[in-house]
Amino acid sequence: MFHGPWQRHKDLVSIHDLSAEEVEALFQLAANVKARPERYRTALAGQTLAMIFEKSSTRTRVSFEVGMYQLGGLATFLSSRDIQIGRGETIADTAKVLSRYISGIMARTFAHATVTDLAKYATVPVINGLTDLLHPCQALTDYFTARERFGTVKGLTLAYVGDGNNMAHSLMFGGPKAGMNVRVASPDGYKPKPEIVELARQDAAAAGTTVEVVTRPEDAVRGAHVVYTDVFASMGQEAEAQVRLKAFAGYQVTPELMETADKDAVFMHCLPCHRGEEVAAAVADGRWSVIFDEAENRLHVQKAIMLMLMHRH
């Protein structure tokens, strides 16, 4: 029924920390969980997941909450209004106190250090539900969705067009682990962080895949099997939205751009999406789009992550 936890890991903070074998084991478990959910109904019975949210959320909150329920456990929602993480109480104290009550922590925060500190001080598993730097649960889901669609993704290419943000970072980390090449196209001033690119390239060299950063969307998308984008202004960047709209002119994923990708290419987006900005409605709602399969798979992949980290033998 179950292959056991990732032996080397207490937490999921970054895909960079995982091996290709661990990612493959996760994907196999996620496929099993999706195909036969009833087999896992009591797998996390009696366990509780604390969900810390500094940012608003649709998919992350609902998928973790529902996922925990479907595994027989309970999820408790803690917004930044409910707990004073890092302000009224230190992150270390919060982590230590929660560890006395619950079986795992999922956190969606602004600062990446908040999640790394939670992982450092908690004695229970900590799952990164998104930080300003990384979004590992989403990227793992994206590669799982590609694997489901293509059967195998080894040697295929994912092209990401747009802001070199947390999504771009996690996709660059995920590609080498899944066996896919990654090409990121971002305008100058909005490219992914060089230190993330460097680590991803090291992973890619070890895996025999490639990670490239380019400027022109056409250079990234040509022949790609997955074409990916994200909003131009992420949560917390609303003030610079107008400046960003100008900077990203020409970076919309259009039907014309999709036609330059592989003939069987799919379009992905982590959602929420702004039709008419980063993606044309004809793409988001058209024949290439797998955005709702992708959104659904957050549930199955995160259930597999919780099983890998929290399942007790």
Residue 65 near residue 302, CB atoms below 8 Å: no
* Catalytic site residue from 59, 225, 244, 270: 270
* Catalytic site residue from 112, 135, 201, 300: 135
Whole-number Å distance between alpha carbons of 194 and 181: 18
298 is catalytic: yes
* Catalytic site residue from 59, 108, 147, 269: 108
* Catalytic site residue from 225, 244, 298, 300: 298
138 is catalytic: yes
183 is catalytic: no
* Catalytic site residue from 59, 117, 137, 138: 138
Listed as own residue / partner, the contacts of 29-36 with beta carbons closer than 8 Å and 24 or more positions apart are: 29/2, 29/3, 29/304, 29/307, 29/308, 30/144, 30/297, 30/300, 30/301, 30/303, 30/304, 31/144, 31/148, 31/300, 33/300, 33/303, 33/304, 33/307, 34/297, 34/300
242 is catalytic: no
The one-letter code for the residue type at 22 is E
Give SS3 for 267: strand
Residue 126 near residue 136, CB atoms below 8 Å: no
**What ranges in the chain are assigned the alpha helix state H?**
20-35, 59-70, 91-101, 112-121, 136-150, 166-178, 194-207, 217-221, 241-247, 255-258, 281-284, 291-310
137 is catalytic: no
* Catalytic site residue from 16, 230, 244, 300: 230
Whole-number Å distance between alpha carbons of 212 and 38: 42
Residue 20 near residue 179, CB atoms below 8 Å: yes
Whole-number Å distance between alpha carbons of 66 and 74: 9
Q: Which residues are catalytic?
A: 108, 135, 138, 230, 270, 298
